[in-house]
Structure 1
Amino acid sequence: MMGMDEEDVLARLKAARKSLFDPSIAAHRGRIVKTTGDGMLVEFASAVDAARCAIEVQRGMVEQNAAVPQAKRIEFRVGIHVGDIIIDENDIFGDGVNIAARLEGIAEPGGICISEDTQRQIRGKVDIAFEDMGPQNLKNIVEPMRAWRLRINADGSAAISKRSPVETTQALALPDKPSIAVLPFQNMSGDPEQEYFADGIAEDIITALSRFKALFVIARNSSFTYKGRAVDIKQVGRELGVRYVLEGSVRKAANRVRITGQLVDTPTGGHLWADRFDGGLTDIFDLQDQVTESIVGAIAPAVEKAEIERAKRKPTESLDAYDHYLRGLASSYQFANRQANEEALRLFNRAIKLDPGFASAYGRAALCYTFAKTNGWISVTPSETAKVEKLVQRAVELGKDDVIALAASGYVSAFVLLDLGGGAALIDRALVFNSNWAEAWFWSGWVKNWLGEPETAIERFARAIRLNPLDPFMSGVRTGTSHAHFFLGHYGDAASWAAMALQDNPDFQPALRMDAASKAMAGRLEQAQKAVARLRQLNPSVRVSNLKSVLGPYRRAEDLARYEEGLRRAGLPE
């Protein structure tokens, strides 16, 4: 609106505040703490006062908008929470403020969203009943919070759904992170006894997706209101306020079962991912677990890829912290490109500046230093080490159950900070919270290599491939697998895996080093020398004597000695 007619919109905003907001807040004993562009933070001594003021304001806006065309109507969202605050001079901070802000973000335009604590305080004391939204995952809030909502109709009454608790008069605003709903899987078997199996798969997927802190996942109680109904996916997206919907079906024949799933982009109706899974019913719960792991492992990266593409299409002046994070992620996947890595670090730092509580951004920023060290672009000075330590510390503090923040910090701790035990523990902690994130298994595989556990490393890398076989970091997975085979003395297998990694990323230096070392140890000296020649083109200063800093913190001296011997045989100067 401001872009179309800045003066008119600003004048109407000021008029709304003068005629409606300020008088209503004063009448209900509120205090305007601060204004934030077209928003404000208000403190009340009573939850009832806050709710009554919000209802009065939203009713007033409905009246003011009655004669205004839909495209020009100014509508506000209100979030209310009861909680402790920190008072600093004239400002207030703390979880009480943060939760109120997050609730405002998931409210409808023209609506009010309140926490369960607020609902208990005002129940029976205001003249309008709020509608239960169920548990909601709020950004940077650890536990899901139950929320309640209200929308004011044109006649000033409350807009309460008559068909289901998720249907509203207008589309819900999308959250500030990727949002997804998992609909009940359709039982195509004609066997009522299979209903529990179909429901169980959907419930397990909801639970598993909820462990991804980067996703906003609609609770089961809301998703399952669509059970047994023919639905329009675009309408579901509007009613639940989600960008993505997962739907599927279960069909049983004899002792076999087929499960299908598809991920749909609700604004366009386009399919982002689809697959099917076949299995036997001898151990139905084991099959349920396998299907859940496979679907979650596939759709989480599919959502991430779609979000990256969406962020790339946004004009740079409208980017927020999450868009900077996504653009940084796209750059960071170009492992062998120094400029791309530097750009990724800049974007992650920008995301941190915009949202200092963004745990994953700290972890990703720290990872940029590992890519730079791996490729020999930087020497990790005490100053650089201090920067990395600070990033890791903040990532762990903020991301106590964030798999990306914890696992990335573990990998960085092991490789850059040389704390193998602490790094391994952080990754294991991340996998306890969420075992469906392929990158965590990938980083764990590398740490197992450095710890001298190549058999376990191969298992970890295989799990990463199984969860996400098409991910951009696949060259790193294959390189790690080649290293594990090399330390087991399987030089032919090591060379094969290194060659596959180089098909993905021809200039990836860790893969080139292993390609040279494994082929030399296998007696294929001419091919090994070609790999070294390419390695020295990319990094003219590379020598056997200065490789220790980039090869990794190998605990077993014999592993490092074997690696160096292979590169010597391949022709790398001492």
Structure 2
Amino acid sequence: MKLEVFEDQRRVTLDGEDVVLGARAFDVLAYLHANADRVVSKAELLDHVWQGMVVEEGNLSVQITGLRKALGREAIKTVPGVGYRLTMGAAPVVVEGPAVPAIPSLAVLPFANLTGSADKEYLVDGIVTEITSALGRVGSFFVTSSTSTFTYKGRAVDLAEVGRELGVRYVLEGSIQAAGDRIRIFTQLVEAETGRMIWQDRFDGEMGDIFDLQDRVAESVAGALEPKLIWAEAVRATGKPTASLSAYELCLRAAPMVWKLNASHNLIDGLDLLHRALELDPDYLQAKALVCYAHTAAFATRFWTFEKAQAALPQARQVLDSGTNDPLALCYAGHYIAYIGRAYEEGLAALQRAEVLNPNSGTVAMLLGWVHVYMNQDDAAIASLERAKRLSPLHPHIAVINCGIANALMQKGDLEAAVLLYEQARAEYPEFASNQIGLIGAYWALGRRKEAQEMADWLRRRVPDMSVSTFRSTRPQHSAAYHALICDALTGCGFPD
């Protein structure tokens, strides 16, 4: 694109078309254009454009943002710690800045104080600090310290510039409003480079409970962001050419395929990506942990037999014996070794350790809840699974969470409540066979025989050689009542012993 600046006419054209700019924006552009062969410092621009005036750096940032909107995001490059350079029509410039970490990276910007009171600045800053601290405990992504992010306080910022200056891929921003004793907090997660919004939420509370509200917001944001960031990273990695993908990016591409497994070919493709990652790095624990979860999903959906799903036991053992502090790796391997390996106490210990390492992970809370289900610890299971829903109400595995609560309710004898959750979970994730198996038992016990037979027909199509003895030998639940209820229903629906 051809940029022309006619200083005598105070006119700018882009490919022959006039570009409408304000007076200050024109002065900034004209000076950058006249010095396009070098980087112009912020101080130099302030001195030239606002001669004799005392202005804040934020005024310059506003003009740069406006110029980028008018000319294109890449027309002006930021050189962190120095200034700006006009690159449109000039020789390419290499912009040095902090390297973006290999794992998903995030900066929490100071929230806007919309309470109408400068006295509440402490409150706004305190909430941001709490959120940053909570997110910093999540091992699956990197969080920039508040010392760095608070340098942006009170400034109009360009998110792409923030991303480059801080070396992060995502930005969490927000605002706080107050009316009487009520306070409302808005948050949104944005991809820095593109400005694409990934997630948003709001939180309401009372000023008198401000410390509890701070904790709740921090916990909820951390819990919601973990799956959202991982999903966003997976989408980002998918667009890259396969030949250039690292082992980490291969795992990112595999994760959605094995997390919510809805077709057997996704399982095969996901495992292929994970095996390729392990060829690049045989010691990559995250890849081994995802292999474990793939085998968990393969049996949970009944795409594979129980015997075939046992193939990842060596990888689970390697993860758990490694001494890793990665909470996701611990929870994937720990759940698998309890579900498939029947090492319940060891799996529980791994998940409890993962919860200590990251108390704000909906995924950890979900899988911990399921191990409590297996061990017939129903109240603990429900508490953990309900916490997973509270931490991450839009979790991609919300159906697995609901199914776990239904299973615990069935074991407690509340069949009507269990049916409602099983049905909801089945609508959310129809391939998750635990829903159909639970409904066979609950429907049969409640006298809803036709509906039980419909679920039984689905199970026969998925597992043609299904029998009562197969269920007995492969289900991880300790509950005698659950076993008796399901076995009675399978027999009544015509499954062989």
Counterpart-to-counterpart distance in 2, 1:487 and 1:557: 9
Summarize the Cα distance change of 1:566–1:453 in structure 2 as closer, same or farther, 3 Å threshold: farther
Aligned to 1:565: 488
Higher mean C-alpha displacement, 334-343 vs 272-281: 334-343
Aligned to 2:371: 447
SS at match of 1:547: helix
Instruction: Report the alpha carbon displacement of residue 330 of structure 1 after superposing the two structures with TM.
Output: 1.4
Aligned to 1:546: 470
Which amino acid letter does the alignment assign opposite residue 134 of structure 2? A
Query: TM-score, normalization: structure 2?
Result: 0.77
User: Aligned pair 1:161/2:81, yes or no?
Assistant: yes
Instruction: Report the alpha carbon displacement of residue 191 of structure 1 after superposing the two structures with TM.
Output: 3.1
Q: 1:402 aligns with which of 307, 326, 329?
A: 326
Q: 1:498 aligns with which of 402, 422, 433?
A: 422
Instruction: Trace 1:81-160 onto structure 2 (pairs within 5 A).
Output: none
Counterpart-to-counterpart distance in 2, 1:391 and 1:573: 35
Counterpart-to-counterpart distance in 1, 2:399 and 2:128: 32
User: Aligned pair 1:555/2:475, yes or no?
Assistant: no
Aligned to 1:523: 447
Aligned to 1:412: 336
SS at match of 2:376: coil
Deviations 1:237-290 (A, max 9, x none): 111111111111122221111111111111111211122111112221111011
Summarize the Cα distance change of 1:312–1:425 in structure 2 as closer, same or farther, 3 Å threshold: same
Aligned to 2:69: none
Summarize the Cα distance change of 1:250–1:219 in structure 2 as closer, same or farther, 3 Å threshold: same
Structure 1: gaps of 5 or more residues: 1-68, 71-158
Counterpart-to-counterpart distance in 1, 2:177 and 2:253: 40
SS at match of 1:285: helix
Aligned to 2:461: 537
Counterpart-to-counterpart distance in 2, 1:384 and 1:479: 21
Summarize the Cα distance change of 1:425–1:531 in structure 2 as closer, same or farther, 3 Å threshold: same
Instruction: Report the alpha carbon displacement of residue 507 of structure 1 after superposing the two structures with TM.
Output: 3.0
Instruction: Trace 1:506-517 onto structure 2 (pairs within 5 A).
Output: 506-517=430-441
Counterpart-to-counterpart distance in 1, 2:243 and 2:189: 30
Which amino acid letter does the alignment assign opposite residue 451 of structure 1? M
Contact 2:227 2:396 in 1 (8 A): no
Contact 1:517 1:569 in 2 (8 A): no
SS at match of 2:470: coil
Q: 1:323 aligns with which of 239, 249, 252?
A: 249
Q: Which has the higher contact order (CA 8 A, sep 6+)?
A: 2
Counterpart-to-counterpart distance in 2, 1:406 and 1:495: 31
Instruction: Report the alpha carbon displacement of residue 559 of structure 1 after superposing the two structures with TM.
Output: 3.0
Deviations 1:93-148 (A, max 9, x none): xxxxxxxxxxxxxxxxxxxxxxxxxxxxxxxxxxxxxxxxxxxxxxxxxxxxxxxx
Deviations 1:143-183 (A, max 9, x none): xxxxxxxxxxxxxxxx99379xxxx9634332222111111
Aligned to 1:465: 389
Instruction: Report the alpha carbon displacement of residue 520 of structure 1 after superposing the two structures with TM.
Output: 0.6
Q: 1:438 aligns with which of 354, 362, 381?
A: 362
- How well do the aligned residues superpose, as a CA RMSD in angstroms? 2.4
Instruction: Trace 1:264-283 onto structure 2 (pairs within 5 A).
Output: 264-283=190-209
Which amino acid letter does the alignment assign opposite residue 246 of structure 2? D
Contact 2:188 2:199 in 1 (8 A): yes
SS at match of 1:262: strand
Contact 2:108 2:149 in 1 (8 A): yes
Instruction: Trace 1:191-230 onto structure 2 (pairs within 5 A).
Output: 191-230=117-156
SS at match of 2:469: coil
Higher mean C-alpha displacement, 389-398 vs 211-220: 389-398
Which amino acid letter does the alignment assign opposite residue 540 of structure 1? P
Query: TM-score, normalization: structure 1?
Result: 0.68
Deviations 1:5-34 (A, max 9, x none): xxxxxxxxxxxxxxxxxxxxxxxxxxxxxx
SS at match of 2:211: helix
Contact 1:399 1:405 in 2 (8 A): no
Aligned to 2:185: 259
SS at match of 2:183: strand
Contact 1:264 1:272 in 2 (8 A): yes
Instruction: Report the alpha carbon displacement of residue 404 of structure 1 after superposing the two structures with TM.
Output: 0.3
Counterpart-to-counterpart distance in 1, 2:225 and 2:271: 26
Contact 1:212 1:402 in 2 (8 A): no
Q: Percent identity?
A: 35
Instruction: Report the alpha carbon displacement of residue 356 of structure 1 after superposing the two structures with TM.
Output: 3.8
SS at match of 1:288: helix
Counterpart-to-counterpart distance in 2, 1:188 and 1:376: 52
Contact 2:303 2:462 in 1 (8 A): no
Counterpart-to-counterpart distance in 1, 2:417 and 2:177: 40
Contact 1:248 1:261 in 2 (8 A): yes
Aligned to 1:294: 220
Counterpart-to-counterpart distance in 1, 2:236 and 2:227: 14
Higher mean C-alpha displacement, 203-212 vs 493-502: 203-212
Counterpart-to-counterpart distance in 2, 1:376 and 1:549: 14
Aligned to 1:244: 170
Instruction: Report the alpha carbon displacement of residue 300 of structure 1 after superposing the two structures with TM.
Output: 2.2
Deviations 1:369-412 (A, max 9, x none): 2222334444455x975x53331233234463211011112101
Counterpart-to-counterpart distance in 2, 1:217 and 1:399: 23
What is the count of residue pairs matched by the alignment? 411
Which amino acid letter does the alignment assign opposite residue 391 of structure 2? L
Instruction: Report the alpha carbon displacement of residue 350 of structure 1 after superposing the two structures with TM.
Output: 2.1
Structure 2: gaps of 5 or more residues: 1-36, 39-78, 84-93
